Structure 1
Amino acid sequence: MELNLEIVVLPVADVDRSKDFYTGLGFRLDADFATERGLRVVQVTPPGPGAASIIFGEKLTDAVPGSVRGLHLVTPDLAGARAELIDGGAAVSEIWHDADGVFHWAGTANRVDGPSTAHHSYSSYVSFEDPDGNEWIIQQVIDRLPGR
């Protein structure tokens, strides 16, 4: 079996505000269409080689706007990505790592300021929220584990 994650649906309150926010961060606008019956779909894709996109719009989900937590993006240059996101208008956290050094806890529990002292891949993060409060985590991965 072959399966690929290609779309994540985000619940948002204001479609145009979200479209402006994500395209302002450099996400590519792939689609924006509406049907006569009120379905609207906006698809954007984060910058980079990944294949997964996000969609939001009208009548796509009954989830509460801002209720998505822990969406992860990966970058080899965490400081550079952070700076570009800030330039695009996002309120991005300072770089942090988890005290246990394995992954990270939910919310801000167990966070330690600054990058991982060992500077390993998968160990340092920044985070931000979209205008509705959907949470994004950016994880630094310089060298991938075998098979990934």
Structure 2
Amino acid sequence: MVNDDIRLVQLTPPGSGCSIVIGKGAVPQMPPGSLKGLQLVVPDLHKARTQLLERGVEVSEIQVMGENPRPVPDPLDNVGFIHFADPDGNAWAVQQISSRA
């Protein structure tokens, strides 16, 4: 907590270089469902889709968007995506990247 008007919580998954910040005051306030184009990256798109379905999430079929820019270990790397909306209506894309250089 910075003060009574500004409160922040930073969430960083173990081993991740990215964080999500939630809070009030310094974080822009947006109506629920107004975020579109949020993106997550996973190493196994089939597994991620299965886990979402098992939890009752309505998720798209796997879509291949474009061609891989270089040879990769899995044909879905870089170009494989699924899409879903969270309970607030925000739109998410999940991309497969199984390994990073």
Please, what TM-score do these two structures have when normalized by structure 2?
Answer: 0.66
Unaligned segments of structure 1, at least 5 residues: 1-32, 104-117
State yes or no: 1:141 paired with 2:89: no
How far the C-alpha of 1:34 sits from its partner, in A, is 9.1
% identical aligned pairs = 39
65-74 or 86-95, which moves further after superposition? 86-95
* Corresponding residue number in structure 1 for 2:37: 70
Moved >6 Å (runs of 4+): none
TM-score by length of structure 1 reads: 0.49
Aligned length: 95
Distance in 1, matches of 2:12 and 2:91, equals: 16
CA distance in 1, matches of 2:84, 2:57: 7
Unpaired stretches in structure 2, ≥5 consecutive residues: 69-73
The CA RMSD measured in Å over matched residues stands at 3.0
- The whole-number CA distance in structure 1 between the counterparts of 2:12 and 2:84 is 17
Q: What SS class does the counterpart of residue 84 from structure 1 fall into?
A: helix
1:120–1:97 CA distance, 2 compared to 1 (3 A): closer
In 2, the alpha carbon distance for the partners of 1:67 and 1:35 equals: 27
1:93-104 correspondence to structure 2 within 5 Å: 93-98=60-65, 101-102=66-67
Report the CA distance between 1:127 and its aligned residue: 1.3
Counterpart of 1:130? Answer: 86
Equivalence for 1:51: 17
Instruction: Give the counterpart of 1:79 among 46, 55, 59.
Output: 46
Match in the other structure for 1:25: none
1:98-117, aligned counterparts within 5 Å?
98=65, 101-102=66-67
Deviations 1:7-64 (A, max 9, x none): xxxxxxxxxxxxxxxxxxxxxxxxxx69644x44444345x63221212234431333
CA separation of 1:88 and 1:119: change in aligned 2, threshold 3 A: same
Specify the code of the residue in structure 2 equivalent to 1:51. G
Post-superposition offset of 1:121? 1.5
